[in-house]
Amino acid sequence: MGKILEINGPLVKLELPQTVLGEQVRVGRMGLIGEVIGRAGDTALAQLYEDTTGLRPGEDAEGLGWPLSVELGPGLLGGIFDGVQRPLQAMRERSGDRIAHGVAVASLSRTQRWHFVPEPARRAGTRLAGGDVLGFVQETESIRHRILTPPQIEGELLELAPEGDHSVEEVIGRVRLADGRIEKLHLFHRWPVRTPRPFRQRDHAVAPLITGQRILDTFYPLLKGGKAAIPGPFGAGKTMLQHQVARWCDAQIVIYVGCGERGNELTDILESMPELKDPYTGRSLMERTLLVANTSNMPVVAREASIYVGITLAEYFRDQGYDVVMVADSTSRWAEALREVSGRLGQMPVEEGYPAYLGSRLAAFYERAGRVETLAGDHGSVTLIGAVSPPGGDFSEPVTSHTKEIVQTFWALSKELADARHYPAVDWLESFSGDVNSAAKWWAEHVHPNWQAARAAALGLLAESEELQRVVNLVGVEALSSEQRWALESARLIKEGLLQQAATDEADSFASPEKQYALLAALLEIHRRGMDLVQLGAPAQRLIQMPLLAQARRWKSQHGSDDLAGLQAKIAAVPQAFEPLLLEYASTRQPAGAGEARP
Amino acid sequence: MRNVEFRTAASAQGGLVVMAGVAGVAAGSRVQLRDHAGRVRSGLVIRSAADNVVVEVFEGTDEIDLERTWVRFLGEPFRLPVSRDILGRVFNGSGQPTDGRPPIISADRRDINGEPLNPSARAYPREFIQTGISAIDGMNSLTRGQKLPIFSGGGLPHNRVAAQIVRQAKLLGEEAADFVVVFAAFGASHADARFFQESFEESGVLNKVVMFLNLADEPVIERLLTPRAALTAAEYLAFDLDYHVLVVMTDMTAYAEALREVAVLRGDVPARKGYPGYLYSDLAEIYERAGRIKNRRGSITLIPVLSMPSDDITHPIPDLTGYITEGQIVLGRELSGEGVYPPVTVLPSLSRLMKDGIGKNFTREDHPHVASQLFASYAKALEVRGLAAIIGAEELSDADRHALAFADAFERRFINQGEDEDRSIHETLNLAWDLLSMLPKDALTRVSEEQLAKYHKGTA
């Protein structure tokens, strides 16, 4: 037993001999929890996860003997936990609407009973290795929670409970380890959050993560097991885009970490997710979702931990063979928490007050994403999507610039687009994806062989229009040739009819890959047909006035992904719309560019 | 410990006093200092060790004499006594009455720092508040429980806009009976404070207002307490007494500057522009106290006013505020210069909660589409205006000329309105359709064809 020597904000100096760096400590009469971050002789420096107001020097402190760990077992899904995995719903029942000091509630319910079904292959006397599946609990209608052997255990299975109901703490089996010790097995185990969970080997990522968002899937794809960043100034729609990804992506498990962000955003998820249907399973989206929340008014030290809690939970579901998406909103707040603590420790700041190890910490965190072969021989993945909140929208600041070097997919949000209410405000020039070729294989196989060419054509048109717009801004639209004016109009059509997507519109909020491609191909078809006409001598002005262009902009919201036939019917009528003009100009056969004047 | 006075000040410098030989003082507890002249100052324990304690003194350490300073540790954080009687009262920045009436006596004394709300206890704000201002109601709607700041600059009419919101804000189909205002000013001028006081008086709501005033010539460090005291009062009114509370705070820039001043004294590592790295968390502790709670009737809607230094929206104060609040109303110098009131620059303005508080069951079914269309059409029209400035209006196409006319009418008729003009949301939306009807139907792709048929007044 030790005691408190000094209190300085969230940092507490303790007299606590023989503690280990990273060990959890319980401090003071209030029983606040924290972790040891430094030692000198018999004194230890600890950072506490809660507000230290009211703590006094001289009060007791004790080491708990383990590092910050999470409980992994049934009861996680559909829940909301704080930055150190305390269950917020259970805490509300315990201490009311506000988070009181020093409340200790176990992460997983100790009373709830789960129906455990053992794996037939696990018979007494067989070898058992870490990561092996002991059996399963049907946690929700759509998710079968596989009960895993803790990774560090290897030995002979002595017994395993038959099918039946158990609480998480009941012993469901026993193993004799190599050194003869007997280890008990439970429905859950603990894992330290700062240690990546082991796997057999890393795998190639093969399939894109389908988010149902056209600008992401079609233009800047992210693979399952990949790393992506969403940087953007405030008001550019970061949170909205992340909510959309969390709602509609085709992962089996979604972990949403609200790190230093608004409380109402988590409320929004908690209230809206149960009512939304998973487009892949037809079940409530909340069944596959888990929230970790350290909102901006909750203590900063737990903010630093929340990201690691989230990624460890993600790895645990990956180890069960699932494709997991973890959304971290926002990694900038995590970095700021790091900065705050390092500042209190008196460490030498480098850029904008951040500690020198910011880049390496970020890189190590993102490396926990990936598609792997699990210890049990399954395949699972963790896809990591981190929001970045650059101060003043300046992408050259340290967190954004480090992140940009780490991720493969970069969805840059633009203030200009957001101001013009072009949502999602993903900037098609600033963004990038290093996975287009891998994604192209999947699209060619599952949707259409021409995907990559169509994507390139659309991007080419967008880039060209950017050039043309510059000319227009200098000397006016009259300076452009008819071809150029039509290219400009086609790019506008792609922006409004394809890239813009309304999250609040039921038909438009999610677009299946098939719908995405159909729209893309149709808009390019309009562009091509128009260009043919222009080359026959039709003035761009007449094409721009075609009612088809306004109609095509509404297609996305008139036909949901389940009404592909309706969309196809409209697309099939495109050639007809060009028919009158074609008749007019094909007969005159003027050479290209010679007929600006109306006939 | 409360009754013991220590005379062991070991050093005093820049607002901080170190007390030697004092043991076991609770971190964050309140302190009273009595100096040789008998003046009482208050402070806070910011660092507590086994044999010494660092105290931050709110009134500063000027004229402190180490040998003749008596210090009392109160053993508890700053608390505000609350009761129904706070309505209609005026307090200073740390919660002492300054209106000449007796102090509030109550057994219910609350820690002004509050406790963070459990995110699972929040209820999502969904009820549309009609402010009667078209630029806000139509395009950046406020909902009950939202935190929506006004970003302004020196010389812009943010106080008048805030006062107009206070006068006109109402929920559709509900009388104003349960509605109260908590007003907090820090670093504000006496003229500003009087303006608000008179505006509340004129509209007859003075007995429903609680004021916390720390004016420009009052202690700077006290500003750190003012918003917290105000929000403690607001929380009591909203969640104990079921009132709908509108909190107006001005000016957050003065608050952040006070925070920077204290951070420098403490020796904290500065991040951007000398502001401490924890400015974000600190602002969040204030802003996040707005909201609604499940199964409680009351709500706290927060309208902080902040002036952007040099009109720079990327300055750390508006920047970090924007990352925490649920949108922002941006006032612009250009519109103001053209005589438009309220000079709301709609493109950078935003209400994040708008989407959930408007539409069929709240305002009118076409509202979300109309708002989106107004934004798109106005953004496009501004592009045309920029182009016209270069190549001249004569060179513009017919479509572009329509757009220009729309932009002018939008600013003159939609954004611009009287300071006493209280437009209903239906008036606002009808006005929007009047303006959109200046544009051909083909140019309006954000509204549905049915809405065009129903509301568009043009022929094209």
For residue A594, pLDDT over 50 is answered with: no
pLDDT at A60 over 90: yes
Bridge partners (DSSP) listed for residue B45 = B55
CA atoms lying within 13 Å on the CB side of residue B207: 2
Angle between helices A564-572 and A547-558 (to 10 degrees): 170
- For residue B460, pLDDT over 80 is answered with no
Of A263, A478, A545, Cβ closest to residue B395? A478
B375 touches chain A (CB under 8 A): yes
Please state, in angstroms and as integers, the Cα–Cα distance from residue B138 to each residue in A235, B166, B425, following that order. Answer: 18, 18, 7
Instruction: Find, in chain A, the residue whose alpha carbon is nearest to that of B387.
Output: A473
**Range B235-240 average pLDDT:** 96
pLDDT, mean over chain B: 90
Q: Does B316 touch chain A (CB under 8 A)?
A: yes
Instruction: Tell me if residue B442 falls in helix, strand or coil.
Output: helix
Q: Tell me, yes or no, if B355 comes closer than 8 A to chain A by beta carbon.
A: yes
What is the spatial distance between Cα B418 and Cα A258, in angstroms, rounded to a whole number? 42
Bridge partner list, B414? none
| pLDDT band at residue B175 using 50, 70 and 90 as cut-offs | low
Whether residue B249 is found in the same domain as residue B379 = no
Is B60 exposed, middle or buried, given 0-12, 13-18 or 19+ CB atoms closer than 10 A?
middle
B33 & B127 share domain: no
Report if residue B460 sits inside a domain. Answer: no
Give yes or no for a contact between A41 and A14, defined as CB atoms under 8 angstroms apart: no
Residue B91 domain flag: yes
Return the ∠ at Cα A236 (arms to A233 and A241), rounded to 5°. Answer: 120
* Contact in structure between A38 and A23 (CB atoms under 8 Å): no
What does the pLDDT look like over A497-535, one tens digit per residue? 999 999 888 899 999 999 999 999 999 999 999 999 999
How is chain A split among helix, strand and coil, in percent rounded to 5? 40, 25, 40
The model's pLDDT over B309-321, given as tens digits with 9 standing for 90+, comes to 999 999 999 999 9
Q: Which domain holds residue B120?
A: 80-357
* Backbone angles phi and psi of B293, in degrees to 5: -120, 140
- Is residue A350 within 8 Å of residue A360, measured between CB atoms? no
Choose from A303-317, A473-487, B190-204 the range with maximum mean pLDDT.
A303-317
First to last CA, chain B: 82
CA distance to partner chain A, nearest, from residue B148 (Å): 12
Please state, for a pLDDT cut of 70, what percent of chain B lies above it.
Answer: 98
Reference B398, options A420, A594, A541, A488; nearest CA is: A541
pLDDT category at A130 given cuts 50, 70, 90 is: very high
Q: What is the 3-state secondary structure (H, E, C) of B216-247?
A: CCCCCHHHHCHHHHHHHHHHHHHHCCCCEEEE
Contact: B27, A343; criterion CB under 8 Å: no
**Hey, is the C-beta of B264 within 8 angstroms of any chain A C-beta?**
no
Q: Tell me which residues of chain B, numbers 388 to 447, contact chain A at a CB-CB cutoff of 8 Å.
A: 390-391, 395, 397, 441-442, 445
> For the domain that residue B50 is a member of, what is the CATH number?
2.40.10.170
Res. B263: pLDDT tops 90: no
Give the distance, in angstroms, between the CA of residue A458 and the centroid of all CA atoms in the same chain: 26
- Residues 107-146 in A contacting B (C-alpha not used; CB under 8 Å): none
The string over B217-245, giving b where at least 16 C-beta atoms fall within 10 Å of a residue's C-beta and e elsewhere, is ebbbbbbbbbbbbbbbbbbbbbbebebbb
E strands, A421-525, where?
432-433
Confidence of residue A589 (pLDDT cuts 50, 70, 90): low
Same domain, B229 and B123: yes
pLDDT at B124: 93
Is B320–A473 a contact, with Cβ atoms under 8 angstroms apart? no
pLDDT category, A588, cuts 50, 70, 90? Answer: low
Interface test with A, best of B78, B269, B300 (most A CBs within 10 A): B269
Give Cβ neighbours of residue A118 (< 8 Å, ≥ 6 apart). Answer: A134, A135, A160, A161, A162, A163
User: What residues in A contact B379, CB-CB < 8 Å?
Assistant: 419-421
Tens-place pLDDT, residues B374-421? 999 999 999 889 888 887 878 788 888 999 999 999 999 999 999 999
Position B55 in a domain: yes
Q: Assign A117 a pLDDT band (cuts: 50, 70, 90).
A: very high
Among residues B125, B210, B127, the alpha carbon closest in space to that of B166 is found at: B210
Chain B residues lying within 8 Å of A295, measured CB to CB: 116, 119, 284, 288
Same structural domain for residues B276 and B184? yes
- For residue A478, what pLDDT band results from cuts at 50, 70 and 90? confident
Q: What is the pLDDT of residue B173?
A: 67
If asked whether residues B136 and B272 sit together in one domain, one would say yes
Classify burial at A492, counting beta carbons within 10 Å of its beta carbon; exposed 0-12, middle 13-18, buried 19 or more: middle
SS3 A110: coil
A470 CB within 8 Å of a chain B CB: no
Domain end call among B338, B357, B376? B357
Burial of B259 (0-12, 13-18, 19+ CB in 10 A): buried
- The backbone torsions φ and ψ at residue B330, rounded to the nearest 5 degrees and listed phi first, read -100, 125
CA distances (Å), origin A181, targets A66, A130, A154, B14, B166:
20, 16, 11, 62, 71
Q: State how beta strands B150-152 and B244-250 pair.
A: unpaired
pLDDT in tens, B59-88: 778 888 888 999 999 988 889 999 999 999
Residues B345 and B386 in one domain: no
- Of all residues in chain B, what percent carry a pLDDT higher than 90? 60
Which of B270, B316, B324 lies nearest to residue A296, judging by beta carbons?
A: B324
In angstroms, how far is CA B254 from the centroid of its own chain?
Answer: 12
A88 in contact with B, Cβ within 8 Å: yes
Number of domains within chain B: 3
The two structure tokens encoding residue A599: 């006939």
Please name each of the domains of chain A with its CATH number: 1-67 (2.40.30.20), 114-187 (2.40.50.100), 201-429 (3.40.50.300), 451-588 (1.10.1140.10)
Cβ separation of B319 and A234 shorter than 8 Å? yes
Q: What is the pLDDT of residues A243-299, one digit of tens each?
A: 999 999 999 999 999 999 899 988 988 888 888 888 888 889 999 999 999 998 888
Out of B115, B117, B316, the one facing A391 most closely (by C-beta) is: B316
Same-domain check for residues B227 and B164: yes
In a domain, B125, yes or no: yes
Is pLDDT above 50 for A598?
no
Mean pLDDT value across residues A139-158: 94
Domain-terminating residue out of B333, B357, B381: B357
Check whether the bond before A424 is cis (ω within 30° of 0).
yes
Please check whether residues B265 and B381 belong to one and the same domain. no
Is the pLDDT score of A175 beyond 70? Answer: yes
CA dihedral of residues A55, A56, A59, A60 (deg, nearest 10): 40
DSSP label of A89: H
pLDDT, position A272? 87
Query: What DSSP state is assigned to residue A242?
Result: H
Residue B43 and residue B58 in contact, taking contact as beta carbons nearer than 8 Å: yes
What pLDDT shows up at residue B174?
A: 63
Answer whether residue B95 is part of any domain: yes
- pLDDT tens digits, B2-59: 778 898 999 998 788 999 988 889 998 899 999 899 888 888 898 999 888 999 888 7
Residues of chain B found within 8 Å of residue A418, distances taken between Cβ atoms: 350
Assigned domain for B362 exists: no
8 Å CB contact of B320 and A88: no
Q: Does any domain span residue B384?
A: yes
Q: What is the pLDDT of residue A579?
A: 92
Helix (H), strand (E) at residue B398: helix B398-409
Say if B288 is an interface residue toward chain A (CB within 8 Å).
yes
Q: Residue B220: what pLDDT?
A: 81
Alpha helices, DSSP H, located in B139-188: 158-168
Please tell me whether residues B50 and B91 are part of one structural domain: no
Do A60 and A28 contact (CB within 8 A), yes or no? yes
B244-257 pLDDT per residue, tens: 999 999 889 999 99
Distance CA A468, CA B108 (A): 68
Question: What's residue A135's pLDDT?
Answer: 96
Closest among B204, B63, B106, B135 to B348, alpha carbons compared: B135
CA distance A154 to A213: 44
Q: Is it the case that residue B434 has pLDDT exceeding 90? A: yes
| B304 inside domain | yes
Three-state secondary-structure class, residue A169: coil
Which of the listed residues B336, B357, B378 is the one where a domain comes to its end?
B357
**Residue bearing tokens 């008596």:** B70
CATH at residue B223: 3.40.50.12240
**Do B392 and B244 share a domain, yes or no?**
no
Is there a single domain that holds both residue B68 and residue B89?
no
Do B303 and B447 belong to one domain?
no
Q: Which of A56, A286, A329, A358 to mutate to test the interface with B (most CBs of B within 10 A)?
A: A56
Residues A446, A513: contact at Cβ < 8 Å? yes
- For residues A376 and A322, the answer to whether their CB atoms sit within 8 Å is no
